[in-house]
Every structure is written in C-alpha cells, then in structure tokens.
Copies of this chain bind each other. A is one copy, B any other.
Amino acid sequence: MAQTKAGKNNSTKPVRDAEATQAVILAAAEEEFAQNGLTATRTEAIAAKTGVAKSMIYYYFKDKEGLYRAVLERSHADLLRAIQNLDLEQLSPEVALEKFLRTLLDCVSRNPRLPTIMFHEAVQNQGKYYESSSSVNIDTVLINILERGVRTEVFRSLDPFQSAINIMGACLFYFIGAGNIQRFPQGKQLLSKAMLERHTQESISLILAGVRQS
C-alpha cells in the first residue's frame, strides 16, 4: 500500500502522498474521537479538519469503525509498549510504583487525548474494541505492584483491585476535566508543560503517600 513517495515525485505527479494523507486523517480522527467518541463523531468533521476529501477515509480505512480501530491502536501503542518494557519485578514495590506512575503520566502528558479516548471507549462501547489486549493489562500491572507491596507490608493493607482503579483515576481524571476546567478562574493552561509537570508530581506524591504504611 505504499507508492508515489516524495523524491520519486520529480516528474508528473502533483502532491500525492499516501502515507501523508493517512497520517493527517489519523491525526484529525484522534482529535475528533477523543472529544466525541465513536458514534458522535462525524466523518465529515474529520475530513474538514484534514482538508482532504471525505472519501479518503473510506479509501484508506474502509469505514468509520475501521478508522476508529486504527486510532485506538495507534494512540494506545506508546503506553502499552512503555508499560510492558518496564520490568518491575526486581524493584521494591515503592520504587516500582513510582516508576509505573511516572511512565503512565509521561505517556498521557505527551498525548493528553489518550485518557478521553479510553473513557469514551469504556463508557460508550463498554470496551468492546479493546478485545483481549490493551488497557486491561495496564491495570493488571498496577494491581500486581500493589499486591506485592501489601504482602511485604511496605504498603498499608489496602485493596489492590480497588486501589488500582482509584490510582488510575487520580492520574487520568485531570485530562478528562481539562476541557471543562479551562473555564475556571482566569483560564489556567492545564495542558501547558509547566502544569503537566506539576500534575505528574502532585499525582505521584498523593498516591505514594496514600499507599505507604504509616
């Protein structure tokens, strides 16, 4: 599916680049899906953002659902890879937890749309497009860390399953609120570099203090 790339373009063909077109479609689609979810997103809105014809979506991704799948996979890839490569087994629970959180927060800070994409998928589609893979594993990693911490008594005797959810919430909710919270006092830039770093730090502090054995 790859031809007419730049460079070979020295003759007749105008500005046609399959990969580039796909890329702009994916980028625009990610924005739209993040805000609206699968059903409420209009293919026309995506097309409008890209500047390319609406029919290009169907040419490259078959239909809206195909595009959605592509966006879902693409947007989760970074995080999944990062979490999988973490190798936390030989770290102390506390260090492991901090490393996990920093990785998670780093990824979503780089792509703040990811949390809202996850949430739309979870709420609207009940995670049906996740199949057996994806975000489920992330929670499992976290649960394991917590279990180990409780067992070795460096963490207080919390419920690992419940706490994992609450911890994810503490980290990710920020990005969900971001759109809404813009209309807060003198419009703080929640997604500015400084604020994102602060969020990372505050989240980690809250959680580490929250799980630690007192």
Contacts and interface: CB of A to CB of B under 8 A. Distances in A.
A126 B174 contact: no
A96 to B, nearest CB: 18
A168 interface: yes
Contact of A39 (B36, B158, B163, B179): B36
Contacts of A182: 126
Contact of A122 (B38, B123, B180, B199): B180
A198 interface: yes
A59 interface: no
B156 A35 contact: no
B123 A166 contact: no
A161 B64 CA distance: 38
A27 interface: no
Contacts of A165: 173-174, 177, 181
A195 B21 CA distance: 48
Interface residues of A, number: 55
A12 interface: no
A36 B174 CA distance: 21
A57 B148 CA distance: 53
Nearest to A182: B126
A123 B119 contact: yes
B173 A168 contact: yes
Nearest to A179: B126
B124 A36 contact: yes
A203 interface: yes
B124 A163 contact: no
A104 B51 CA distance: 45
Interface in A157-214: 158-159, 161-163, 165-174, 176-177, 179-184, 188, 198-199, 202-203, 205-207, 209-212, 214
5 contacts: A36-B37, A119-B123, A120-B123, A123-B176, A166-B202
Q: Which 7 residue pairs across A and B have the least CB separation, nearest first?
A: A169-B173, A210-B210, A122-B180, A39-B40, A127-B180, A40-B40, A169-B169
